[in-house]
Amino acid sequence: MNKLKKLFSFFVFILVCSLLSNSFCVTLAENTKSMSENLTSEAVLIMETSTGKVVYEKNGYQKKYPASTTKMLTAILALENCNLDEKATASKFAITSIPSGYTTANIQIGEELSVKDLLYALMLKSANESAVILAEHISGSQEAFADLMNKKAKEIGCQNTHFVNPHGVHDKDHYSTAYDLALIAKYCMQNETFREIVKETSYTLPATSVYPSKNRTFSNTNNLLIYDNRNRADNYYYKYATGIKTGYTSAAKNCLVSSAEKNGIEYICVVLGASKFYKSGAQQSGRYIDTISLFNYAFNNFSFRKLYSANSVVQTVQIENGTKDTKNLELLISDDVNTFVSIDNKDSNLEPQIVLNENLVAPISKGDVVGSITYDVEGLRYTTDLIAGNDVIEAKNTVFIFVYVGIGLFVLFLVFLRIRKVLKDNQNKEL
């Protein structure tokens, strides 16, 4: 009876494990479907920054108008070509070229501001005249700066982007894609000053000789960063958010390029062509709703998995010409192998490709690179060196040793015979 109970319990355990396994396998697919059904924006894309892996996209490679998300590239070019404390002067063109209805920071013609002040006005207030002032300061004209922007975009890896101005004021020839904007944002966030600017919630422009008041204070237009403890439909604060830039034109609709970091994982999220809509009688912004949904999806369904730590033994191989005591060579991994995987591969068995150097023979010194190990996981390749964990001493071939010794003894014997003959001949002569 006890054996029957144990057997029944075993089968129940197997059945439960099977059900849990099947449920686990469909979790990512179900989560993806559920999330995608609720997205309202025309194009979205979310990318993990350290690997560049795109974990979700919808129309992510389709050309769209980027609006003021353009200013990310303007900002990084200013940081790479200027000192923060150097002054730039607002030209008449910079102030008057901005069409009515577009955002400004009330900068005046002839006013001098530091590059730092202009960058905060650019990225927090989304001041369009600030973009032109920086463009003229760096390149002499808006057109020349646009050439610089396009050159930089190509260097970053953008293939479907073309800019004609530094701010994103609508132009039919001014376009990008969610993927290209993610590449630009990823590049920009490698600059610590850029990171500091885009996460600030407010800034005040200083008084100048042209504008003596200090009343030009503005909040960041990115509501993911603005904490509000009121329970309102337009409260989009996201505690993991770290930036980056909003955008809007009537043609582009609402746009948002954002970043968020949680448990050591950082994502760049791009939302283009979003609209406002009403839900439960309250107006809501699609760009924030979609962005938060995408961040939650990514953080809940992907993570890093350490497969090996540096100096771990991967396997042991025999080196044929090594001595008996040293011929077993331990292969050590040179660096940590951290793979970025979906929940489907969080615990699955991942087989590596191990390639040893050609003609791997003794002598081998501990620490020598002897091959490589590669994992191909979900479209990404992770490769690192394999190093020798011990010395392998070359074994001498005993057959050749015996041959050499035999030859040596034979030569000595011939010499002995020769000497003996000479001595005998000498004795005969004396007699």
pLDDT in tens, 134-147: 999 999 999 999 99
CA distance linking residue 296 with residue 299, whole number of Å: 5
Flag whether pLDDT at 408 surpasses 80: no
Residues 6+ apart with CB under 8 A from 119: 75, 78, 79, 84, 130, 134, 197
Q: Which residue in the list 41, 116, 126, 259 is annotated as catalytic?
A: 126
* Residue whose tokens read 């760096």: 138
* Residue whose tokens read 């237009």: 221
Lowest model confidence (mean pLDDT) among 122-136, 168-182, 246-260, 301-315:
301-315
Q: Assign domain 30-302 one CATH number from 3.30.210.10, 2.130.10.10, 3.40.710.10, 3.40.50.10600.
A: 3.40.710.10
Nearest-Å Rg of the Cα atoms of the chain is: 35
Mean pLDDT, residues 71-93: 98
Which one-letter amino acid corresponds to residue 260? A
71 part of the active site: yes
**Better pLDDT: 387 or 405:** 387
CA distance linking residue 301 with residue 343, whole number of Å: 5
Mean pLDDT, residues 317-340: 92
Q: Which of 187, 5, 208 is nearest to 113 (CA)?
A: 208
CA distance linking residue 372 with residue 352, whole number of Å: 10
Mean pLDDT, residues 354-374: 93
Flag whether pLDDT at 205 surpasses 70: yes
- Are 305 and 339 a contacting pair, CB within 8 Å? yes
Q: Please write down the HEC assignment for all residues of 306-344.
A: EEECCCCEEEEEECCCECCCCCEEEEEECCCEEEEEEHH
The gap between the terminal CA atoms of the chain, to the nearest Å, is: 112
CA distance linking residue 220 with residue 244, whole number of Å: 10
Question: Checking phi first, is residue 68 left (phi over 0); if not, alpha (psi -120 to 50) or beta?
Answer: alpha
Lowest model confidence (mean pLDDT) among 145-149, 175-179, 266-270, 350-354:
350-354
- Mean pLDDT of the chain, nearest integer: 89
Mean pLDDT, residues 172-180: 98
Tell me, what's the pLDDT at 129?
Answer: 98
List the structure tokens of 376.
Answer: 């191909």
Q: What is the pLDDT of residues 11-43, one digit of tens each?
A: 444 443 444 344 444 567 777 877 778 899 999
Distances (CA, A) of 159 to 63, 282, 283, 365, 400: 10, 39, 36, 46, 64
Q: Which residue in the list 71, 116, 186, 245 is annotated as catalytic?
A: 71
**Better pLDDT: 422 or 18:** 422
Q: Which of 271, 232, 251, 215 is nearest to 57 (CA)?
A: 271
Mean pLDDT, residues 146-157: 98
Q: What is the pLDDT of residues 220-260, one digit of tens each?
A: 999 999 998 777 777 899 999 999 999 999 999 999 999 99
* Percent of the chain topping pLDDT 70: 90
**What's the pTM?**
0.83
Q: Which of 243, 252, 284, 271 is nearest to 60 (CA)?
A: 271
Q: Which residue in the list 41, 68, 139, 293 is annotated as catalytic?
A: 68
68 part of the active site: yes
CA distance linking residue 293 with residue 295, whole number of Å: 6
Residues 6+ apart with CB under 8 A from 233: 279, 280, 282, 283, 284
CA distance linking residue 145 with residue 165, whole number of Å: 8
Tell me, what's the pLDDT at 30?
Answer: 79
Tell me, what's the pLDDT at 404?
Answer: 55
Helix (H, G, I), strand (E, B) or coil at 263: coil
Flag whether pLDDT at 327 surpasses 50: yes
Flag whether pLDDT at 66 surpasses 60: yes
Flag whether pLDDT at 397 surpasses 80: no
CATH architecture of 309-388: Sandwich (2.60)
CA distance linking residue 83 with residue 117, whole number of Å: 12
Q: Distance from CA of residue 136 to its chain's centroid? A: 32
* Residue whose tokens read 């890896």: 157
**Better pLDDT: 23 or 81:** 81
Query: Is residue 403 very low, low, confident or very high in pLDDT (cuts 50, 70, 90)?
Result: low
- Please report the sign of the dihedral spanned by the C-alpha atoms of residue 33, residue 38, residue 42, residue 44: negative
